[in-house]
Amino acid sequence: MALDAKDLLGVENMNTLTDKGYTTGIHIDICPKNGITTYSSPKAHSSLKNGLFDMQIFEYDSVKDSYKCPSGKIMKGNGIIYKKYVS
């Protein structure tokens, strides 16, 4: 939508407020590549409402390439990077 607005206004660069309920990382990534600066408040984490740990309190160990869960368990990746795409 920001790209459409920029084209409609005929400007090279623009600033825009984003709706945190509908914005994704992919949208935020596209904007600066197209001369659009975005401003948005952070989303509240859903983990606060469902009893899961907030992802920001997991500790990353770069030497072991693993994460430590707040409950003390160690989690290792499987070497595959997953991306969430918006269709």
Largest pairwise CA distance in the chain = 54
Residue 81's pLDDT is 61
Residue 58's pLDDT is 87
- Say if residue 36's pLDDT is above 90: yes
- Say if residue 45's pLDDT is above 90: no
Confidence of residue 13 (pLDDT cuts 50, 70, 90): very high
- Say if residue 24's pLDDT is above 70: yes
Residue 87's pLDDT is 47
Taking alpha carbons only, the member of 5, 66, 2, 59 closest to residue 33 is 2
**Where are the domains positioned within the chain?**
1-43, 46-77
Confidence of residue 2 (pLDDT cuts 50, 70, 90): confident
Taking alpha carbons only, the member of 80, 77, 82 closest to residue 62 is 77
65-74 contacts at long range (C-beta below 8 A, 24 or more positions apart)? none
